Structure 1
Amino acid sequence: MNKLLTFLDLTKGEDNKQSVLENVKSNISFRGANLWILACAIVVASIGLNVNSTAVIIGAMLISPLMGPIIGAGFALGIYDFELLKKSLKNLLIATVVSLAVSTIYFYLSPFKETQSELLARTSPNIYDILIAFFGGLVGVIAITRKEKGNPIPGVAIATALMPPLCTAGYGLAIGNFHFFGGAIYLYTINCVFICVATFLIVKFLDYPRLIQFEKAREKQITFVITLLTIILLLPSIYFGYTLFEERKFEQKVNTFIQNEFTDKGYTIIYKKTRYKSNNSSLEIALLSKKFNAQENAEIKQRLNVYDLKGVQFKIRQDTTNLKQDILNQIKNERTNVNEKDAVIATLRKEIQDNKFDNKSLLNEARILFPSLRDISISNHPFNVDQEKNNIVPVVIYSSEKALNKDDTQKLELWVKTRIKKNEVEVFWKNTK
């Protein structure tokens, strides 16, 4: 047992306590070079979030000096140095305001305002972010108190991720999205507080000398305030973590449902959209070629109960042009193979474009051959929609006072086929009287 305790002893390899404190105090201030480094790091992190580059974001976190005042606050609480605490919090506030101002200005001026996945990841903190901040903070403060600092510090800077939430908050301010701003600031606050709590615990554990000696009652008061603040920040993140867990469970059930009821039966899913809410979830899909009638739709909806998806609003999209446009939008927002994505986008764009005919020009040309025409409209129309593969046929609707005779109707049909380069068309007359 003694060997195990010796093996886990944190005092082994510990640096001189006074030297550690001096080092901590020297990294608190944001003046001169530190302030310039912080501003530059914020710009780099903002660019990384803007272009969705993880490597650039990591680089910004490595050069950020934000950890200094947070660690200083933790040490100040641990040794009851309230002057150091005041100085640490003041400098942290300065760093936070400067970071918010720089990131807001950058995103306001940036021509790219799209919400990338790296930005979205910083808007919904949960219990896992608390664990990362706490254990990352533990590693950081343990490394600071060692004679041999080693190389955990860069890893701590990356893991605890103080820069990206601040930049995301600036992005929220720049585009006027206060949901993004609130979520990002909450994540930043979580990181700051739990790094500080981890530092406080290690300082207590290593028995750093107190600057002020308090009575037991006063010490309990201070501990109570720290505990209360921790719980206040902990509760919302537990709720968000539970929501994330339930959403993941919902996604797993949906994937199982789709796999068993569609994919395994040979139906190709080309579009899927899910929305999770505790009492109002929905699932929307579309298939490559299979069309379902009303009875089949009802039977599939009944099968949702088997997969514990009762109450989920389920819809199979069977329209054409609007669906293709939705698929384009979905593909643009997904991380897929670039070449494959571009090929699918090009194909769908062509299909959408093929469904558009210049009816105005066609009318002007048709009137030369058929002067009695008042209007003409051509559009693609699906036939045999209840079959495995439907048939898309251009439909021609012309209007005139009298319907064209049989010979002229055949001439119009032949002319349209030649003009739009289709082998089959359907011609209908609309009475304008």
Structure 2
Amino acid sequence: MQKSPTKARWTDKLQDIWFFIRERFDLHEGKEEEAETIDYIRKNVEFRGANLWILIFAILVASVGLNVNSTAVIIGAMLISPLMGPIMGIGLAAGINDFELVKKSFKNLSIAVLISILTSTLYFSFTPLDDAQSELLARTEPTIWDVLIAFFGGLAGIVAGSRKEKSNAIPGVAIATALMPPLCTAGFGLATGNMYYFFGAFYLFFINSVFISISTYLIVRFMHFPKKEFLDPRREKQVRQYITFFALATIIPSVYLAYNIVTRTFWEKGASTFIATEFDFERTQVINTKLYYAADSSHIEVVLIGDKLSEDQLTAIKKKTEAFGLKNTFVSIKQSGDAAADMNVLRSDILKDLYDRNMATLEDKDKKIALLERELEGYVATAGQAPLYLREARVHHKDLQRFTLNQVLLANAEGKVDTLLMAYAGFQKRPSPAELARFQEWLKVRTQADTVALIVQ
């Protein structure tokens, strides 16, 4: 049975669209030879010599960045870091059944992690700045977004690594997935004895590493990289079993961890929505909230100030948790006037809020004071040199009796203000113009000033 002309035209259009999509999204276009890509990744697995020293220096740079809360320094350290190599090596090895490369990648990654944590621990043990800044605290607890970033970043990294023309995607993946800052934060946890920071940061590094490896494995299998061949079929079967065991041992815990992260993220979002919706009163305000998530029993703590809510209102609010997806969640509400929420707690919260809001103003004032002190020191130092200059100048100008100089502010008609070095010289007998010119030139050389305004009496 022949197709109708209309149906045939639609079929041709759909085929054209399908071919267009396949051509646009074809990963094989511009692809490097598989052997070259494998060799490229294999070379970046090894940590020895220069690679190891670069890692140590990058860890120190990242630790300083976390210590002084500088995002730019942290990004620079992540660009230097060679940590991506063994992580992608693990995914590649699993994809091509190369058990020797799996062992080599694991060994070098373990060395890199150990060196990184030891280096950062050593730094944070000696630095005088021992406060946990916001950049450091951000690496103590992974979220679902960290999982997604690691997975999609790993996909971008292996696709870029398989191209003939290498792009800046791999350094970008290192920045996006933030492999190095969690290791530095783990070192901070060890140096300060805070195991919560250590395990939280190491957990984040583990999540990032696992999902980068998984994404590398998936792309290697999707692009049909050649698998390692063995002359002995029994040896090949044994290696496949090892690789399968390794893949399952890595993927199953990571899926479980990712599920817990997703569950906690949704719970925290529901808890925030619950508080914002159910505690919206005209004469009662929420001044503090704390969220404690656990798989079997979670806890929301809310502190209120203002008009007290009745017991009926509190009971009605607590019953609405399941409507926000908060199963097995206990809500405790503390109000001003309750014994549990005494004025000391409220005063502490208010003072903390005031302190946080005024820190920027205080830091700005400190900078201005430091600037003024430096300027004042400059003025005092300049004026203090006048007796010395007088003695030196009298060697060539015997009639010079009085002398002083100082920095002054000079304003112009446009409203701009600049500094000017001004000198006053009192002579017993007024010198000739040539002698004054030599004296003024000597002052410029002696004071190393571009311009010296000279007043002669």
Which residue in the other structure is 2:100 paired with? 83
Which residue in the other structure is 1:284 paired with? 303
SS in 1 for 2:333: strand
Q: What is the deviation of 1:279?
A: 4.1
User: Considering only CA atoms, is the larger Rg found in Structure 1 or Structure 2?
Assistant: 2
Quickly say closer, same or farther: Cα 1:130–1:54, change in 2 above 3 A. same
User: Is the 8 Å Cα contact of residues 268 and 291 (structure 2) preserved in structure 1?
Assistant: no
Quickly say closer, same or farther: Cα 1:195–1:256, change in 2 above 3 A. same
Quickly say closer, same or farther: Cα 1:105–1:130, change in 2 above 3 A. same
Q: Distance in 2 between matches of 1:149 and 1:13?
A: 11
Which residue in the other structure is 1:261 paired with? 281
**Structure 1, 24-33 or 323-332: larger mean CA deviation:** 323-332
SS in 2 for 1:273: strand
Q: What is the deviation of 1:181?
A: 1.5
Which residue in the other structure is 2:244 paired with? 223
Q: Distance in 1 between matches of 2:189 and 2:180?
A: 14
Count matched residues. Answer: 331
User: Is the 8 Å Cα contact of residues 288 and 349 (structure 2) preserved in structure 1?
Assistant: no
| Structure 1 unaligned regions, length at least 5 | 344-433
Quickly say closer, same or farther: Cα 1:59–1:212, change in 2 above 3 A. same
Q: Percent identity?
A: 44
User: Is the 8 Å Cα contact of residues 108 and 174 (structure 1) preserved in structure 2?
Assistant: yes
Which residue in the other structure is 2:413 paired with? none
Aligned match for 1:301, one of 298, 307, 314: 314
Counterpart residue type for residue 63 of structure 1: I
Which residue in the other structure is 1:111 paired with? 128
Q: Distance in 1 between matches of 2:38 and 2:336?
A: 64
SS in 2 for 1:280: strand
Q: Aligned pair 1:338/2:354, yes or no?
A: no
Q: Aligned pair 1:324/2:343, yes or no?
A: no
Quickly say closer, same or farther: Cα 1:335–1:163, change in 2 above 3 A. farther
Which residue in the other structure is 1:121 paired with? 138
Which residue in the other structure is 1:313 paired with? 332
User: Is the 8 Å Cα contact of residues 127 and 234 (structure 1) preserved in structure 2?
Assistant: no
Quickly say closer, same or farther: Cα 1:228–1:88, change in 2 above 3 A. closer
User: Is the 8 Å Cα contact of residues 99 and 242 (structure 2) preserved in structure 1?
Assistant: no
- Residues 129-175 of structure 1 deviation map (CA, whole Å, 9 limit, x = unaligned): 22221211110011011012222222211111110111111111112
Q: Aligned pair 1:38/2:55, yes or no?
A: yes
Q: CA RMSD in A?
A: 3.0
Q: What is the deviation of 1:204?
A: 2.0
Q: Aligned pair 1:171/2:188, yes or no?
A: yes
Quickly say closer, same or farther: Cα 1:32–1:335, change in 2 above 3 A. farther
Q: Distance in 2 between matches of 1:253 and 1:341?
A: 37
Quickly say closer, same or farther: Cα 1:279–1:11, change in 2 above 3 A. closer
SS in 2 for 1:28: coil
Counterpart residue type for residue 261 of structure 1: F
| Structure 2 unaligned regions, length at least 5 | 1-17, 323-328, 366-457
User: Is the 8 Å Cα contact of residues 143 and 152 (structure 1) preserved in structure 2?
Assistant: yes
Q: Distance in 2 between matches of 1:223 and 1:331?
A: 56
Q: Distance in 1 between matches of 2:94 and 2:299?
A: 46
Q: Distance in 1 between matches of 2:285 and 2:199?
A: 40
Q: Distance in 1 between matches of 2:175 and 2:164?
A: 22
Give 1:13-412 correspondences, 5 Å limit: 13-213=30-230, 219=240, 222-258=243-279, 260-262=280-282, 265=283, 271-277=287-293, 278-286=297-305, 290=306, 292=307, 296-298=309-311, 300-302=313-315, 304-305=317-318, 308=321, 311-317=330-336, 320=343, 323-332=346-355, 338-339=360-361
Quickly say closer, same or farther: Cα 1:122–1:237, change in 2 above 3 A. farther
**Structure 1, 167-176 or 277-286: larger mean CA deviation:** 277-286
Q: Distance in 2 between matches of 1:335 and 1:136?
A: 36
